[in-house]
Amino acid sequence: MSDKWFDKLRHLFRKSPDTQRNSEGNICFDSRHGAEITTRDVVAGNKFSGSSINYGTISNVTNNVHLAPSGHDQSFFVGDIDADDSADDYRIKEAEIKQRLWKLDEAIDLYVEILSDKPPLKTTFLSYINLTICYLLLSETPGNIYLARKCFESARKNIFKPQEEKLYYTKAFLLFALGDENIGEALEYLNQALNINPEYVRAINLKASLLEEKKTPITDVLNELYFDENGDLLKIHQDDMGSLKNVGHLYSKKGDFDSALDIFHKALAIREDDAVLHCFIGDAHLFKALGSGVDSDIVLSEDGVQELSLAVKFYRSGNELYKGGQYPKDLNYFITNYTAALCLIGKHREAYEKAQYGLKLGVDHEELFLNKARLETIFGNYEDAHESFDKISDENRLFERANIFLSEGRSDDCIKFLHQLMESQDNDSEIFANCEDLLVEAYLQKDSLDKVSGLLLKVGRERRDTWRTKLGWARYYDKTSEWNRCEEFALIAIQESDRHPGCVVDVVNIYGRNEQFGKIILLLQSIIDEERCSQTSYAAFVYRNLAKAQLFDGRYHEVIKSAEKAKEVNVYEDEIGNLQLEAYLKIGDYTNAKSVAKALYRNHQDDYHLIYTLGALHIATWDLENGKKFLEQCLGINDQDVRVLITLGQTYFLEGDCNKSLEFARLAKDIDVSDPSSQAHSFFIQLHMLCGEVDLSAKYMHEFHNDFPDQQIVHVFGSEHTETGETKIPNELAEILQERATNFKTALDLYRNNSLPLTFLAKTFNLAVSVVYDWRRYYDLKINIEDGNPKVVFEETKNVLSFDKIILDYLSLLIFARLGLLNEILDEFKGIYVSHRTLEEITSSIVVQNDFMSREIFNALRFSPKVIYFSPESTLNVIEEEVVDVFTQSVEESLVYALEQDMPICFGDVKVRNYAKQKGKFISSGPVAMLHRLAGKNRISLADLARKKSILMAESHDFITFTSKEMFALASKNNFILTDELKQYFDYCLKIDPDVDSFCDVYINLFTMLNKKGVSFESLTEWMKYYVSTFCKLSFKDTMKSYWNPYLKSQKSGEVIRYSRAEYALFYLFVFVEVVFAGQQVKNYLIRSFLYEINHAPLLISCNSLRRKAIELAPKVIEQGSIGVNQKQIK
């Protein structure tokens, strides 16, 4: 395997610690080497290791793992015998068994013995063929190539024609063993063998290996030689051990380890004692743990550790089967991989024993010496480690000793060793340059800044500076806190290195320490966009640190997208998962946060913080039972965690179990009884108040302030007394109360006099929307749920009728809870969408204020399968900055989500809907339109609709539209008696600025319907008298405001006469009476009754004029068949 691949694996199996601030307060991204980080970080922190060894210096264990070389399993090439029962054939079979067990010398002796007896031609031919192969497999022994050639010539001279194909096969094997340049010629001989016997599987297997050596795509090799057009394994290979091993090995080379293992286990079912097969299975499990083939990163997940354990199992059994045999040079990597797998699961002592065992067997793989040296370094056997390093010829490997010293923090030893190494090197050698780079790091670690600058200047003077030199200067200026110079050299290094991974890693760390997160994002995103991180381990670094920078920079949605992209390119790891989880928490997307946390929990079921997070997330999404299970699991680990106790107390209070909630509050308070800053005290006081134990709360508060006079849960003022004994409010308290009163009045005035939503008040006073909503009762605060335009309500009703899914905000939920219609809303729609922030607000309203309507919402939504919780995928900056200070987060999220999903949304506040309409992209609706839908779908009756509207009218819900049919339906439920509930419909026009036309239309149409229904004259009179009384009050109101309504105009001698709204309403009623009761004696009675109700002189004076005009107009109205008054008819 090439050194390039070693570089790809250089930083694998490291611990990936969470990004944190170091002792200097800097942001730490990946550690010193980044994409080239040593494995010591992993082995040292391997949670699967039960050892207490001081893991100081192991590095790059995984650099030494190899897949099998192509075509070098000798058992592929053992000659097959046409079985008969002759003694010679029996002896050949015995020799082949020894050959398969790698007892090659014994097999050679047996073949020579057989030939000395001058056997028949067939036996002679097969013996020479297998002797050729044995000598080739021992080709590292001087003279064996010559013997192999002589044996092949003897086989050619003694050819057994019925098995002639074996001669061509062996010739191909001989050519292949002599060098890769002979592959083409070897393939020609194999083709001749297959022309003679197309089902000669040994030749097919060797051909597959040669084609793979020629870089033929593995899929093409498999399809050409092993599988039919349907993708089924050809029959000749299904029971052949060599074929099955070769197919499995090809799958491994391809990176398809699952398919490889499936094939290998089919072979294992045929013969269990094949040592090579066991080691191949070990390789497949090892590389499956590493990821997807040799280009994969490694994630020590639970599944990965399981794969490593299986790898160890099969390496162990394979090595047991090899006992007494010889390790061929090309298979030395098996024992190296075995030691690597043992290291990776933390079995370092056993790994060391196996390394020694392999060396005793004659394994001379240099990588095995490296593993042994690194393990000796772990154990502190430095002399043995140096002795092992000295046996390695590659000087580049010797450089690793200095690297280990540096990683260990032994900078002096590193510097000493580097100087010794540099003395033996030319100044222009690569090793010398690498030593200088490492010296810079060592001096930086020691804070020997003069040494750093001196070394870098020397390199510059000798004109040997490279991008690494520029990077050294960047790190130097980073140490001296000269940011401008640091950035200057960092940018030069990036440019000159063409964004070399090693340079990128160090620059990212420099930027991170200086909190230049935007620059990190630009750099790493450009690498991704230009597809410059195809190497999986480097890609993992890029995505991991991109997500970290985005998180620190507050770009939470971008963190989520980066994590999902990391999944697509198969570099997603637990650390990226943690970053994604944090981002979801930041944006309040608790459903997706819970999914990520669950995935992390599968691999880290003992992670206390993760367990608590899962508990809190289940509670945040109202899955209280599972939430309590996780929190109780936390208590099983640490029953003194006040945070967990408080959360459990809040959870039981959400469920309405005050006793259990108080129990946890007391436990939390008792644990932190001596810590006055603990939240447990305020929680204890608050919860007892919410549960009705006010006296106990007051008593504990008094005790708390006595025990901790400098600490305050609430600001407590004592009363002062004047000299006369009168109680006086302290000046400090008076100033605070005055300031609060002024702020409160100012905020209410702003709300009343501007187009501000109710959430403006909630944000201003940092209160829940449910609290501000209650001010409609206490301060007669108008709740603007409609704008009073029937056309708008009709359009919103039309909008909401065409969808079966809808988004609801908190205020609309509060309104429906107040009307008792939550269940009807849930029944009506297939999907009710509620933002996570809304859940948060509801939960807070219950836990902090015990708001009963919020609890109703909680109980209604909690168990409904139709409720979907959401967070938008976009950032909230798609909503203009102007609304940030007046909209709560839940409103902003709902707006963005409605825009993303093109879904209808019901906002309880018309001011929010008006904002949405201005943008022209929202399908918005209001509570009244929702009521109309319920009535239209017969979820509620028309009378119920009217009753709900009367409730809203009574509580300062502004601009409620209504119809005469609704009033009539409600009246019919009360025998057409004018009740207080129905009077709300008349009183309502006094609370708002009414459009008198529409109100009069509704009232007069109602009187017409009552008359047609045959309502008694007395009852009808009461209705009309209340109408007159109402508009008489409006006349007073208008006079106070000097308000005139130019609905009715009359010109006389050029003079314009204007009529008030009350006069117009009274005129409307006079017309109705003249038309309906024309010619009846009761007409005059009614008029007198009306006049008795009028107690406003200006209105009373104008009555005669209004009645005369009504009498003039009545015939025209009768002629038209309608009592409607057209303003143009009034002259």
pLDDT bracket for residue 572 (50, 70, 90): confident
Q: Is residue 382 part of a domain?
A: no
DSSP class per residue in 1087-1128: HHHHHHH---HHHHHTHHHHHHHHHHHHHHHHHHT-----GG
Distances (CA, A) of 62 to 328, 367, 992: 22, 10, 78
The CA distance from 593 to 580, in Å, is 8
CA 717 to chain centre: 48
Q: 792 with 929, same domain?
A: yes
pLDDT confidence bin for 1123, thresholds 50/70/90: low
Of 906, 933, 958, which residue sits at a domain end? 958
Query: How many CB atoms are located within 10 Å of the residue 486 CB?
Result: 24
Q: Are strands 720-721 and 727-728 parallel, antiparallel or unpaired?
A: antiparallel
At residue 266, φ and ψ (nearest 5 deg) are -65, -40
835 SS3 class:
strand
Banded model confidence at residue 502, pLDDT cuts 50, 70, 90 = confident
Look at residue 601 and give its three-state secondary structure.
helix
Closest CA to 286 of 367, 348, 347, 340: 340
Which residues does residue 868 pair with via DSSP β-bridges, in sequence order?
A: 833
- Same domain for 954 and 1018, yes or no, is no
pLDDT at 907: 92
Residue 736 lies in a domain: no
| 1035 and 1117 together in one domain | yes
Tokens for 1087, please give them: 């008029």
- Six-digit token pair at 335? 């024992």
> Could you tell me if 434 and 399 are in contact, meaning their C-beta atoms sit under 8 angstroms apart?
yes
Alpha carbon dihedral 774, 780, 782, 783, in 10-degree steps, equals 20
What tens digit of pLDDT does each residue of 109-149 get? 999 999 988 888 888 998 999 999 888 888 878 888 889 99
CB 286 within 8 A of CB 255: no
What pLDDT is attached to residue 90? 75
Q: Are strands 805-808 and 831-835 parallel, antiparallel or unpaired?
A: parallel
CA 809 to chain centre: 24
Pairing mode, if any, of strands 831-835 and 867-870? parallel
Confidence of residue 524 (pLDDT cuts 50, 70, 90): very high
Over residues 688-702, mean pLDDT: 85
CATH number of the domain where residue 163 is located = 1.25.40.10
Q: Please write the tens of the pLDDT for every residue from 790-802.
A: 888 888 888 888 8
Considering the chain, what percentage of its residues have pLDDT values greater than 70? 82
Task: Tell whether 432 is covered by a domain.
Answer: no
- Note the pLDDT tens digit of each residue in 627-637: 999 999 999 99
Residue 165's φ and ψ, nearest 5 degrees, are -60, -25
Domain boundary (197, 216, 243) is at 197
pLDDT digits (tens, 9 = 90+) for 973-1014: 999 999 999 998 898 888 777 778 888 889 999 999 999 999
pLDDT at 1118 over 80: no
**CA-closest candidate to residue 650, choices 675, 633, 627, 673:** 627
Q: Please tell me whether residues 764 and 863 are part of one structural domain.
A: yes
Q: Which helix (H) or strand (E) holds 904?
A: strand 904-906
Q: Which of 719, 692, 892, 917 is nearest to 810 (CA)?
A: 892
pLDDT digits (tens, 9 = 90+) for 819-877: 999 999 999 999 999 999 999 999 999 998 889 999 999 999 998 999 999 988 876 55
Question: Three-class SS of residue 168?
Answer: helix
What's residue 76's pLDDT? Answer: 39
- H helices then E strands: how many in the chain? 58, 13
CATH number at residue 826: 3.40.50.1010
Closest by CA position to 930, among listed 949, 914, 950:
949
Q: Any alpha helices (H) in 17-70, and if so which ranges?
A: 40-44
In a domain, 946, yes or no: yes
Q: Are residues 773 and 707 in the same domain?
A: no
The verdict on 884 and 1018 lying in the same domain is no
Residue of 792, 799, 795, 801 whose CA lies nearest to 995? 792
With cut-offs at 50, 70 and 90, classify the pLDDT of residue 1058.
low
Least confident of 220-234, 278-292, 665-679, 841-855: 278-292
Question: How many other CB atoms are there within 10 angstroms of residue 58's CB atom?
Answer: 26
Cα separation of 1129 and 68, whole Å?
103
Per the structure block, which two tokens stand in for 361?
């067997």
Is 47 inside any structural domain?
no
- HSE-CB of 753 using CA atoms within 13 angstroms: 6
Dihedral of CA 546/549/553/556: which sign?
A: positive
What is the predicted pLDDT for the residue at 883? 54
What does the mean pLDDT of the chain come to?
Answer: 81
Of the residues 197, 219, 254, which one is the last residue of a structural domain? Answer: 197
**Domain count across the chain:** 4
Are 188 and 167 in contact, with CB atoms under 8 Å apart?
Answer: no
Q: In the predicted model, what is the mean pLDDT of residues 300-326? A: 74
Range of the domain at 903: 758-958
Same-domain pairing of 884 and 938: yes
Residues 765 and 709 in one domain: no
- Of 88-92, 459-463, 653-657, 812-816, the one with minimum mean pLDDT is 88-92
Same-domain check for residues 184 and 121: yes
Q: Which two tokens stand for residue 666?
A: 């007391």
Taking 80 as the threshold, does the pLDDT of residue 1015 lie above it? Answer: yes
CB atoms within 10 A of CB 541: 27
Closest among 1035, 1051, 1048, 1011 to 1100, alpha carbons compared: 1035
Residues 822 and 943 in one domain: yes
| Residue 259, domain member (yes or no) | no
Residue 1040 belongs to a domain: yes
Nearest Cα neighbor of 999 from 1039, 953, 1053, 933 is: 953
The packing angle between helices 1082-1093 and 1103-1120, to 10°, is 140
Residue with tokens 């509570």: 927
C-alpha to C-alpha distance for 783 and 908, rounded to whole angstroms:
9
Helix ranges (DSSP H) in 819-862: 822-828, 836-849, 852-862
Same domain, residue pair 916 and 824? yes
Angle between the N-to-C axes of helices 1017-1040 and 980-991, in degrees from 0 to 180, rounded to the nearest 10 = 20
The length of the chain, given as a count of residues:
1131
Distances (CA, A) of 490 to 417, 471, 493, 494, 543: 28, 6, 5, 6, 20
DSSP code of residue 782: -
In a domain, 273, yes or no: no
- Residue 335: predicted pLDDT: 82
Same domain, 1111 and 1045: yes
Q: For residue 1030, what are its two tokens?
A: 């109402």
User: Do 831 and 805 contact (CB within 8 A), yes or no?
Assistant: yes
Distance CA 1067, CA 1011 (A): 19
Helices (H), 226-324: 235-238, 241-254, 257-270, 275-290, 302-322
- Which ranges constitute the DSSP H helices of 606-678? 608-620, 624-637, 642-654, 658-671
Highest mean pLDDT (candidates 393-402, 823-832, 896-905, 1122-1131): 823-832
150 DSSP β-pair partners? none
- For the chain, the C-alpha Rg in angstroms (whole number) is 44
Query: Could you say which DSSP state residue 7 is in?
Result: H
* 43's tokens: 């082995």
Place of tokens 């993992």: 540
Of 153, 193, 195, 141, nearest in space to 172 by CA = 193
Q: Is the pLDDT of residue 40 over 50?
A: no
